[in-house]
Structure 1
Amino acid sequence: MTPRLIPFRVLAFALFLAACATPPPVETGPPFESVMVEAKGEANPYKADAVLTGLLERQTLTDDQRARALYARGSLRRQDGDDRRGAVEDFKAMLALAPAHPLGPNAREELEFAETDVETIEAGLQRMLSLSQWFDSMWVLGAHDEAAARYRKSGISPNPAQLADLAQAGFVCMGDETGDKVYTVGDRRDDLEDAYWCPAD
């Protein structure tokens, strides 16, 4: 007896149903709330940014969770995290995702502040600036890699506040002699004695 062939439409429909039945991705790692608490309690703003960035890479977040994480990272970047351009992107993404979210009014207000900062700083970059002034502007905009690379290439020592930012962000490793010495020219300072550029990954 010749076996009956399954019509193509029936087979395609069965495959469609099987695809629809695929279970949603399973969340891995610590629970959302635990990660948010960890980020909020992290004293180093650049490490806190990395924690929130890792959280936002999860595909299992609900819209509410993603909106909250975007707002938290945007607020961090607008303030201690020194990344105004990133803050603008985060607030816009949060508002596009959940415009009626309870944090929406806060996000709109902070977005306005961040956009004003970006416009002011970018306008200032059109003037003649010293390396130190240029670094401060680029750092606050969020161009950390570019700002650090230019200081490293110049051989000029960053000022104490800039050195602290570079160390917190992982560009300067204190006491790690495997990297190049941060001090090459200029005034000697005690805080530069054990400062080395972190080796490239």
Structure 2
Amino acid sequence: MRLIALAALTAVLLGACETSPKLVPMEPAAFETAVTDARSSWHPYASINAFAKMAETQTLTPVQRAKVLYERGVIRTEQSIELPAAIDDFQQAAAIPENGLASSDIEQRIGVAQAKLNAARSRLAGLQTLPEWFDDKVAIGEISAAAERFRNSGLAPDPYDAGLLEAAGYLCRAPSGEGQRWEYGENTAHLSELKWCETGATS
């Protein structure tokens, strides 16, 4: 009886495997549209998030996956956001066989990201204003620590940093007139409908 039951179970499992839908690769046109949409997100960090979601898609071809990693690395490098992760993006893209990317270009971009990373670490060893420190902590990939110190300071972040904090899940939308009260900073118009999220990062 046990052998019969085991054989029946095996047959069911094999049947399930045979009827599982096959993953269909993303159409080239749809992929290019998704890449364009990700690039044009409202903030560079939102673009990074969009490419991260694309990278999780199981239906990407190897070439498409390499392009997603490459594009995310480009944004991170150009905007000095999470530079160690940018280097990792380029290295992962390069490791994909037949990735369609120029190795010389990837090597150059890794060099740029590394140089920016080294410069940020060097600046952090010296005296800085809080906004300068924040930008360099973001550059080296320590966004959580940067957000926490900004939050404790009471200083209003500028529009770009506020956008990053919102996209990263540290600032949340608030009803009109119920935004955060900022202790320091003259230009706070862009923060009128933003407040610190109650539980920190939500993304």
Shorter-normalised TM range: 0.7 to 0.9
Q: Is the 1:85–1:142 contact (alpha carbons within 8 Å) kept by the matching residues of 2?
A: yes
Query: Which residue does the alignment assign to 1:25?
Result: 23
- Alpha-carbon distance between aligned partners in 1 of 2:96 and 2:149, rounded to the nearest angstrom: 37
Closer/same/farther in 2, CA of residues 103 and 174 from structure 1, 3 Å limit: farther
1:198 to 195, 200, 203: 195
- Alpha-carbon distance between aligned partners in 1 of 2:60 and 2:85, rounded to the nearest angstrom: 20
CA RMSD of aligned residues (A): 3.5
Query: Which residue does the alignment assign to 2:160?
Result: 165
Closer/same/farther in 2, CA of residues 82 and 54 from structure 1, 3 Å limit: same
Pairing 1:44-193 to 2, within 5 Å after superposition: 44-80=43-79, 82-98=81-97, 101-158=100-157, 163-169=158-164, 170=166, 171=171, 176-182=176-182, 184-185=183-184, 189=186, 191-193=187-189
Q: Is the 1:49–1:81 contact (alpha carbons within 8 Å) kept by the matching residues of 2?
A: no
TM normalised by structure 1 equals: 0.74
* Shift of residue 56, structure 1, vs aligned partner: 0.8
* Shift of residue 114, structure 1, vs aligned partner: 0.5
Q: Unaligned regions of 5+ residues in structure 2, if any?
A: none
Aligned positions, number: 189
Q: Unaligned regions of 5+ residues in structure 1, if any?
A: none
**Which has the higher relative contact order, 1 or 2, with Cα contacts under 8 A spaced 6 or more apart?**
2
Matched AA of 1:145:
S
TM normalised by structure 2 equals: 0.73
Closer/same/farther in 2, CA of residues 174 and 194 from structure 1, 3 Å limit: farther
Report the structure number with the largest CA radius of gyration: 1
